[in-house]
Amino acid sequence: MASGEIKHVVDPDSLPLGTVVTTSGRISAARMPGYAADTPPFARDELVALDEALTYATELVNIRFSIYIGDLGDDPFAGATAVLPTVPEPAHATVIAVSPDSHDVVVVSGRAVSDRVNDRVAQLGVTAAIASFRNGDLIDGLIAALRVMATAVARS
């Protein structure tokens, strides 16, 4: 195989209608409105662990942490900033926004907590998450970011 060629493990012609193999090798499937996914993107134990980390971080420092996973658009910071008003108690919230396709991670905070979740704390959280993200483990990376950020805020 020449450099830059994609080796498909799945035959693209055998995929159902609305399903493709992306350039990264992932399988992406579109669903008709009203049809639930056959398999959720995360396992139940991963979601429980993420919920526990969110609860721990929120209770430790009285900041409403939220996670957003999805497309952040051409300007990831603007995309993450647009998510902030949609979370509970946005003035007292911090959002960790991840755009998996573009590999962007953005941390934005509400005005009441921006002095506590400053650039240094956000950078610590992103740095903690990157190792897991590189290994393809999104949930572990988010949990690491939450723990590190909450600990940094609690110690400051």
Output phi, psi for 25, to 5 deg: 100, -10
Q: Residue 147's pLDDT band (boundaries 50, 70, 90)?
A: very high
**Topology adopted by domain 44-155:** Diaminopimelate Epimerase; Chain A, domain 1 (3.10.310)
pLDDT at 32: 67
As a whole number of angstroms, the distance between CA 105 and CA 113 comes to 19
139 alpha-carbon distance from chain centroid: 8
Point out which residues pair with 20 in neighbouring strands.
28
pLDDT at 1: 42
Per-residue exposure over 28-65, b if at least 16 CB sit within 10 Å of its own CB, e if not? eeeeeeeeeeeeeeeeeebeebbeebbeebbebbebbb
Q: Residue 95 is encoded by which pair of tokens?
A: 């959002």
pLDDT at 87: 87
CB 95 within 8 A of CB 64: no
What are 122-143's pLDDT values in tens digits? 999 999 999 899 888 999 999 9
pLDDT at 101: 82
Q: Could you give the count of Cα atoms lying within 13 Å of 53 in the half-sphere of its Cβ?
A: 22
Residue spans of the domains in the chain: they are: 44-155
Q: Residue 14's pLDDT band (boundaries 50, 70, 90)?
A: confident
Continuous segment of H or E residues that includes residue 82: helix 76-83
Angle CA(115)–CA(116)–CA(119) in degrees, nearest 5? 75
CB 110 within 8 A of CB 90: yes
What are 80-122's pLDDT values in tens digits? 999 999 888 899 999 999 998 888 999 999 999 999 999 999 9
pLDDT at 6: 46
End-to-end CA distance of the chain: 52
As a whole number of angstroms, the distance between CA 85 and CA 81 comes to 8
Specify the higher pLDDT residue, 101 or 30.
Answer: 101
Amino acid at 148: V
pLDDT at 40: 67
What are 32-82's pLDDT values in tens digits? 666 666 666 888 899 899 999 999 999 999 999 999 998 898 999 999 999
